[in-house]
Structure 1
Amino acid sequence: MIRGIRGATTIESDIPELVWSETVKLVQRVAEANNVSPENIASITISTTPDVKSAFPAKSVRLMEGWQYVPIMCMHEMDVPGALPLCIRVLLHVNIDTPQHEIHHIYLNEAVKLRPDLVR
């Protein structure tokens, strides 16, 4: 079965090093919390708010040990007034037998405001 596993984080400012480091931290936490290895990931979609434009977040994931063959695509979120700024979101499409209600979605930094119902 393929399940979607969500996560989001924010950065303090739009500089490449923060985009990359926070993206890696988020993806690692999502994978660890759900006992997922790169071999089980069908693909990853990464989106950023339009104010994040200094670097491709996917670059940092591709450089992680063992992750170079995971298909990853980046895009911008809709530019909705009042949206959480400087936000990076991930959606991992994972081959996993875990029931939907046992999936651990990960929200870090200011992104915990997005889904307080899912923060554990």
Structure 2
Amino acid sequence: MRLHALRGAISVERNDADEILSRTTELMHELLERNELTPDDVVSCLFTATPDLNAAFPAAAARSMGFAQVPLMCAVEIDVPGALPKIIRVLAHYHSGDEHRSQHVYLGRAKALRADLDSAQ
């Protein structure tokens, strides 16, 4: 077993708690599915949200998906001029076999963040 890291991001249309939670759930579901993981495989997750998203904590969505024993943290993304607005990002650490290839996930407008990664689309 080896420690791996996954990146992912998703766009949100409006600063609304239900939207933030549902889009975060979608992102986490895709990360788990594409990487054949369960919440028990995950060691920790760091979520960031752009400064225009403050209606809910993205980590709350992960908690409701079964990440009860996983350390989760939320932070505000750096407010870089010209950066994509209304984006939730995640960095997830997890255990898997040495041969595992991480499949990063970028959804919605967030696909533009890592257009260089075929696996991210």
In the TM superposition, what whole-angstrom CA distance separates every residue of 1:84-120 from its partner, at most 9, and x where no partner exists? 10000011101112547x2110000000000011134
TM-score (norm 1): 0.93
**Gapped regions of structure 1 (runs ≥ 5):** none
Q: Residue 25 of structure 1 corresponds to which residue in structure 2? A: 26
Q: Higher mean Cα deviation, 67-76 or 106-115?
A: 67-76
The one-letter code matched in structure 1 to 2:74 is: C
Change (3 A) 1:98 1:34: farther
Q: Residue 113 of structure 2 corresponds to which residue in structure 1? A: 114
The one-letter code matched in structure 2 to 1:83 is: A
Q: Which runs of 4 or more aligned residues in structure 1 lie more than 3 Å from their structure 2 counterparts after TM superposition? A: none
Q: Residue 40 of structure 2 corresponds to which residue in structure 1? A: 39
The one-letter code matched in structure 2 to 1:90 is: V
Residues in 1 aligned to 2:76 and 2:20: alpha-carbon distance in whole angstroms: 14
**Gapped regions of structure 2 (runs ≥ 5):** none
Query: RMSD between aligned alpha carbons?
Result: 1.2
Matched residue of 1:2: which SS?
strand
The one-letter code matched in structure 1 to 2:47 is: I
Residue identity (%)? 39
TM-score (norm 2): 0.92
Residues in 2 aligned to 1:57 and 1:50: alpha-carbon distance in whole angstroms: 13
Q: Residue 79 of structure 2 corresponds to which residue in structure 1? A: 79
Instruction: Give the aligned length.
Output: 118
Residue 95 (structure 1) aligned with residue 120 (structure 2): no
